[in-house]
Every structure is written in structure tokens, then in C-alpha cells.
């Protein structure tokens, strides 16, 4: 009978986790993050609502694994390229001022957030609202990457200067607060005073990172990465369990080991397919169970009957806001008031680490279960309110006026007309070529704007901010130089690099590093064959007014929407949808999903508008 009740609770939680995103989409509640909705649904079926679910071995185990995997994905979310891409670009902002050094400003702001949080924490201790100032500092200063990243992407500003500064602040906060949480556990846990044991955990992490880096490009390992073996996925789960075990052995919390595993995988630069697999498994199964169970265990009736807890809710929300607004006000030097306030509101969102800190402190008997519930409830409220305020305040024109910067290296018969035709509301193209004799450049100067540079050395290209492009096309006369420059561009964080390489031997090597390759010989041969076999298709491809275009679906607003209900109007026809390895012929009931590659045809004006709506300033 007890086993039957156990299975019933598990079934209820799984069904609720399944229905939650469907209900959000059905009632158009896209402003509520899915994880917050899962907690709210947990409240409905748990102690605060119908009391249908009770904690048991199955749910406790799956919930714990969900928490561990959430911390792993939190570490994986940290994009260390953000640090390498944060050099001062010396661009001029709409305010007329020179753009600040992103990393420097983000670091100063986070230091400010931490010290303001520390001061506010002592005020909470002074008025007897909480006993541990260290814990409260962690609670107030932490920022949720899981809320910040998708919000920036939806606002189409993740690649802008202000978007990158907000992202860097959140990344630094995520790293620092997790490390300080480990220090907190070492100081106040059962094995307190053995903080040096954390060095063993980090030492094991470094060894595993070096081992992973060495094995990543091993041909034998690559051969085991497909089919039923999936050695990469097995390696990731082995890494998580191993570091979790080491973490618990040295007296730290298991989530620190999971977070460290995520950081190591991020440093190893996994391919996008691997990341999508891990996200699908985590957010599709384990993590929803954890968040639903967080809501199930919250007892709002008991919590709200305590006057002290009732008073703490608005005060803590106010503390979250003050701790972000005061330091973030530094951005007022470069940005307008609305942008600055919107940034502060977004950085007020906090969730995963608050839940982690609250659960750990409760388990260590540092705070009561009512206090833990209050901290989690405040984090939930903050995550609902702050993204809405950010979207209301942030100036829309800041996102809409941003163009994708396409830089061409090498002026020739392909790049010159391509750079000219790309000039539109979506793209800003820049063409660079080495200095030529006056007699060689008269024709080019009459039709094309070519920026002359001394040479194609890396120092010269960095001086001319070539590597700050959204898309870099390398087409000099030397294919070996093209390959070398393409690899260097990828290392410096350029999202898309396209290189002209004629040698087939180089193609595979460059593609493995995420570089797109084209060859004049192969392209010409393919076009000639297509012209013979499919002249009508060639007409579509070459027609300036009605060509084929590829658009990547990155706007979560249209996730799961059928083409029949697609609100976009205009002269555009969906020709094909590529989803992973599948090729789909679209019809009215075909649903759009994130990362779909849409092949469309139509007039360029409408295609540009659709492209802006679905993928502009894409982050992935």
C-alpha cells in the first residue's frame, strides 16, 4: 500500500511537470519563467494546496538528482568567452560617449553589489530578522543566470555592449557566490575549519580538465561518440558523479562538485549538439521534478502566519533591489536612466543559488524551515516581477537599431559585391584589404568602400577591431593564411567565421572547430550541375528579388506555434524546415521549435523583417 502511494505521488509530479509549459503557452503566460511556474504548480498540489503529494524515497532521490543536474547546468551556462570578448571596443554609444571596458565595469559593479549586500545583511542581523550575516550576504548578492540569459536573448540585446555587461555581472556573481557558498559550508558545517580540503576538490577538477582537454580530439574517442556508445555523454555523467562524490568526501556540498563539473565542461567548449542533449535531459526530466517538489514542500499557511516572516518578505525584496540599483547606477555615466534602471531590475532576479543556500542552511540547522521557505518565496516573487519590469523599462530602440556586423577580409570579385548587397537594416558590412598601388584600386574606389590596412597580421587586425565582428568572412589570396586567421578568430570569440579554402584536406579540420568553409571550385561545380539538372531552382537561388534564405529560430515566443497560427504577415513562404538531422516539409500544422533552421523565400524586405523577429542578435 505504501509503495502504491509512493508511485501515485511520483505520477502526479511527473504529470504536473508535463502540463505546466503547455498551460503557460495555452494561456499566453510567457512572462513567467517555466521553473517559476513549476514551483507555483507545486504549491497547488503540495502542503499549501490540495496536499496530494508526499515526500518519499523515489521523489527525494529524483529531486536530489534534479538539484545536482541544475547546479551542473548552472556551471555549464557560464560562457567564458564573455571574458575574452570583453575588451574595450572603443565604439561610440548612442549617448555619444565611448563604450567602457566591459569586464572592468562588470567587476566593479559586482564588488559594489557584494559590499552593499554585506551592509544590508548586518542591518537584518541588527534588527533580529536573521542571525547569520554571511548567509544573508550570499542570498542578497546572488544573481540568476537562468533568468538573465533568456531575458537578454528575448530582448535581442545579448550581443550588445549593455547586454554583455549585464551578462558578465551575472556570470561573476554566479561564480563568486557558489565559491563563497562552499566556504560557508566549510565554516559552519560539521567539519568546519577544514577549508583546505576544498583544495583537493579543485585539484581533482584541474586534473580532470587537463585529461579531458587531451582526450577531446583523440580519434579513438571521436569514433565512440556516435550510435549507441555516446562516449561524450557518458563522460559528462561520469564527471558529475565523480566530482559530487569527491565534494561530499571532503565535507563540501554535493552541488559544489556538480557546479564544478559544469564549469569544466564549459571550459572544454562542448559542441552545441552535446549541450542541447544535456539541456533536454535536465530541463525535460530531472529539473522539473526538483522545482515542483520545492513548491510541494513550501507551507505558505504556516509561513504567512508568522509575523516575522511576513515582515521579512517585503524587506528582503527591497534589499534585493537596493543591492543592485546602487552599484548599477555607475552605468548612468554611459547609458540613459531607463537602461540603467532596467539593468538593475534584471540583475535583481535570483533563484537557483538562493534555493541552494536556503536548503543547505536549513539542513545545517542555521535557519528554520519557515525562514528557508521565506527566502525561496522571495526569490520566486523576484523572478516573476523583475523580467517584466526590465522589458517595460528597457528602451526598445536600443535593441531594434542594432545591426549585425559583417567583416570581409580580402577584396575580390566575390567579397566586393557581397559586401555591397548586404547593406540593409539588418547588416553593417565592412570590407578590409591590404594597401594597393593607386593604379590597382581606381575601379574599386569608384563602386566600393574598401578600408585599407597594412597587412593581415593578428596585431593589425585587432587594432582595426576586425575580431569584434558578428560574422567574419576571410577570403584573402592565401588559403593557409585564411585557415590560420579563421582559427585565431574563433579563439578570440567570433561567433561565425567563414573562410575560403580550396584544399579539401583543410575543410574537415576547420569544420571541426566550428568554422564554415567555402571553395570557389566546389561552389562553381555545384552551381553548374544544378543549372543543368534544376534550372528553375537555380533561378530562385540567383533571383535578387525572390531568393532562398535561411533563418534560425531563436525567439522562444514562437516555440511550439503552428505555421497556421504564425502571426507574421508578408510576402514570405516557408520552403523547408531543418530540425537536427531531420528535413521537414512544412504545412499548416507544422510546429516551430527552438533552433529550427527555416528555409524561406520572398522579397528581401519581408525576409529581413522575419529574420529580425526570429533570430536577430542570436546568442547561440
Interval 421-440: pLDDT, tens: 776 657 788 888 887 654 44
Distance CA 237, CA 278 (A): 10
Q: Residue 88: is its pLDDT beyond 50? A: no
In the DSSP assignment, the letter for residue 468 is G
Q: Residue 613: is its pLDDT beyond 90? A: no
Burial category of 520 from C-beta neighbours within 10 Å (exposed 0-12, middle 13-18, buried 19 and up): middle
Predicted confidence at residue 92, as pLDDT, reads 60
Would you place residue 375 in the very low, low, confident or very high pLDDT band (cuts 50, 70, 90)?
A: very high
Mean pLDDT of the chain: 81
38 vs 444, higher pLDDT: 38
Predicted confidence at residue 199, as pLDDT, reads 80
CB atoms within 10 A of CB 537: 12
Predicted confidence at residue 95, as pLDDT, reads 60
Would you place residue 90 in the very low, low, confident or very high pLDDT band (cuts 50, 70, 90)?
A: low
Q: Residue 399: is its pLDDT beyond 50? A: no
Strands (E), 329-423: 404-409
**24-33, 327-336, 531-540: the lowest-pLDDT one:** 531-540
Would you place residue 35 in the very low, low, confident or very high pLDDT band (cuts 50, 70, 90)?
A: confident
**14-18, 393-397, 442-446, 552-556: the lowest-pLDDT one:** 442-446
Rg of the Cα trace of the chain?
Answer: 26
Provide the sign of the torsion angle of the four alpha carbons 38, 41, 47, 51, taken in this order: negative
Interval 167-200: pLDDT, tens: 889 989 988 998 888 888 878 876 555 666 778 8
Give the residue among 99, 558, 511 at the shortest CA–CA distance from 333. 99
Would you place residue 20 in the very low, low, confident or very high pLDDT band (cuts 50, 70, 90)?
A: very high
Predicted confidence at residue 221, as pLDDT, reads 62
Predicted confidence at residue 125, as pLDDT, reads 93
pLDDT, mean of residues 280-291 = 90
Over 206-250, what HEC string results?
A: HHHHHHHHHHHCCHHHHHCCCCCCCHHHHHHHHHHHHHHHHHHHC
Orientation of helix 198-216 relative to helix 254-267, angle to 10°:
30
pLDDT, mean of residues 456-474 = 87
Over 286-351, what HEC string results?
A: HHHHHHHHHHHHCCHHHHHHCHHHHHHHHHHHHHHHHHHHHHHHHHHHCCCHHHHHHHHHHHCCCC
DSSP β-bridge partners for residue 597: 552, 578
Interval 342-362: pLDDT, tens: 999 999 998 888 998 998 898
Predicted confidence at residue 425, as pLDDT, reads 57
pLDDT, mean of residues 590-617 = 77
Predicted confidence at residue 388, as pLDDT, reads 86
Q: From residue 502, how far is each of 309, 415, 516, 521 by CA, in Å?
A: 69, 16, 13, 7
pLDDT, mean of residues 314-318 = 94
Predicted confidence at residue 62, as pLDDT, reads 92
Phi (first) and psi of residue 582, to 5 degrees: -90, 145
Distance CA 159, CA 7 (A): 46
Q: Which three cell numbers, joined as nine digits, stand for 371?
A: 525562514
Q: Residue 575: is its pLDDT beyond 90? A: no
Q: Residue 124: is its pLDDT beyond 90? A: yes
Distance CA 263, CA 209 (A): 10
pLDDT, mean of residues 295-301 = 90
Would you place residue 534 in the very low, low, confident or very high pLDDT band (cuts 50, 70, 90)?
A: low
Q: Which three cell numbers, joined as nine digits, stand for 67?
A: 538539484
Beta-carbon contacts of residue 581 (< 8 Å; ≥ 6 apart): none
Q: Residue 540: is its pLDDT beyond 60? A: no
- Most trustworthy range by pLDDT among 134-143, 256-265, 402-411, 431-440: 134-143
Distance CA 458, CA 488 (A): 8
Amino acid at each position: 500500500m505504501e509503495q502504491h502511494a509512493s508511485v501515485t505521488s511520483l505520477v502526479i509530479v511527473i504529470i504536473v511537470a508535463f502540463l505546466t509549459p503547455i498551460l503557460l503557452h495555452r494561456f499566453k503566460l510567457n512572462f513567467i519563467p517555466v521553473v517559476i511556474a513549476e514551483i507555483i504548480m507545486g504549491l497547488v498540489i503540495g502542503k499549501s494546496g490540495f496536499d496530494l503529494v508526499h515526500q518519499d524515497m523515489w521523489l527525494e532521490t529524483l529531486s536530489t538528482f534534479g538539484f545536482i543536474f541544475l547546479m551542473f547546468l548552472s556551471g555549464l551556462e557560464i560562457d567564458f568567452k564573455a571574458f575574452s570578448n570583453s575588451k574595450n571596443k572603443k565604439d561610440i554609444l548612442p549617448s555619444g560617449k565611448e563604450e567602457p571596458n566591459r569586464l572592468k565595469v562588470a567587476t566593479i559593479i559586482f564588488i559594489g553589489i557584494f559590499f552593499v549586500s554585506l551592509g544590508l545583511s548586518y542591518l537584518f542581523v541588527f534588527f533580529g530578522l536573521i542571525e547569520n550575516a554571511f548567509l544573508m550576504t550570499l542570498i542578497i548578492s546572488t544573481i540568476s543566470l537562468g533568468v538573465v540569459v533568456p531575458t537578454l536573448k528575448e530582448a535581442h540585446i545579448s550581443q550588445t555592449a549593455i547586454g554583455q555587461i549585464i551578462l558578465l555581472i551575472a556570470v561573476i556573481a554566479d561564480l563568486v557566490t557558489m565559491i563563497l557558498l562552499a566556504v560557508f559550508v566549510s565554516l559552519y558545517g560539521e567539519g568546519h575549519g577544514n577549508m583546505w580540503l576544498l583544495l583537493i576538490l579543485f585539484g581533482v577538477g584541474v586534473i580532470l580538465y587537463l585529461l579531458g582537454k587531451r582526450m577531446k580530439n583523440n580519434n579513438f574517442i571521436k569514433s565512440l561518440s556516435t550510435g549507441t556508445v555516446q562516449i561524450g555523454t557518458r563522460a559528462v555523467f561520469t564527471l558529475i558523479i565523480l566530482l559530487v562524490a569527491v565534494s561530499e568526501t571532503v565535507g563540501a556540498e554535493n552541488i559544489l562538485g556538480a557546479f564544478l563539473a559544469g564549469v569544466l565542461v564549459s571550459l572544454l567548449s562542448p559542441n552545441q549538439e552535446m549541450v542541447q542533449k544535456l539541456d533536454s535531459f535536465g530541463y525535460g526530466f530531472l529539473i522539473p521534478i526538483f522545482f515542483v517538489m520545492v513548491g510541494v514542500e513550501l507551507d505558505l499557511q504556516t509561513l504567512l502566519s508568522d509575523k516575522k516572516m511576513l515582515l521579512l518578505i517585503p524587506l528582503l525584496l527591497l534589499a534585493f533591489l537596493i543591492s543592485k540599483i546602487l552599484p548599477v547606477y555607475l552605468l548612468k555615466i554611459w547609458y540613459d536612466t531607463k537602461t540603467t534602471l532596467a539593468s538593475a531590475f534584471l540583475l535583481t532576479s535570483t533563484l537557483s543559488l538562493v534555493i541552494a543556500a536556503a536548503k543547505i542552511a536549513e539542513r545545517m540547522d542555521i535557519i528554520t524551515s519557515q525562514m528557508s521557505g521565506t527566502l525561496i518565496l522571495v526569490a520566486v516573487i523576484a523572478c516573476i516581477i523583475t523580467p517584466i519590469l526590465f522589458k517595460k523599462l528597457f528602451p526598445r530602440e536600443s535593441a531594434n537599431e542594432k545591426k549585425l556586423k559583417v567583416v570581409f577580409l580580402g577584396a575580390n570579385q566575390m567579397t566586393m559585391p557581397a559586401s555591397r548587397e548586404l547593406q540593409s537594416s539588418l547588416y553593417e558590412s565592412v570590407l578590409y584589404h591590404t594597401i594597393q598601388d593607386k593604379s590597382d584600386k581606381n575601379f574599386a574606389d569608384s563602386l566600393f568602400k574598401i578600408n585599407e590596412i597594412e597587412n593581415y597580421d593578428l596585431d593589425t587586425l585587432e587594432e582595426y577591431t576586425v575580431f569584434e565582428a558578428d560574422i567574419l568572412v576571410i577570403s584573402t589570396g592565401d588559403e593557409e593564411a585564411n585557415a590560420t586567421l579563421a582559427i585565431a578568430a574563433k579563439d578570440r570569440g567570433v561567433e561565425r567565421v567563414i573562410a575560403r579554402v580550396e584544399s579539401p584536406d583543410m575543410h574537415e579540420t576547420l569544420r571541426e572547430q566550428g568554422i564554415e568553409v567555402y571553395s570557389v571550385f566546389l561552389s562553381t561545380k555545384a552551381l553548374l550541375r544544378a543549372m543543368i539538372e534544376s534550372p528553375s531552382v537555380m533561378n530562385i537561388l540567383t533571383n535578387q528579388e525572390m531568393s532562398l534564405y535561411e533563418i534560425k529560430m531563436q525567439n522562444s515566443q514562437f516555440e511550439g506555434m503552428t505555421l497556421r497560427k504564425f502571426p507574421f504577415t508578408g510576402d514570405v513562404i516557408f520552403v523547408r524546415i531543418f530540425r537536427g538531422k531531420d528535413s521537414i516539409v512544412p504545412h499548416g500544422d507544422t510546429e516551430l521549435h527552438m533552433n529550427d533552421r527555416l528555409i524561406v523565400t520572398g522579397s528581401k524586405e519581408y525576409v529581413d523583417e522575419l529574420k529580425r523577429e526570429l533570430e536577430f542578435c542570436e546568442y547561440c
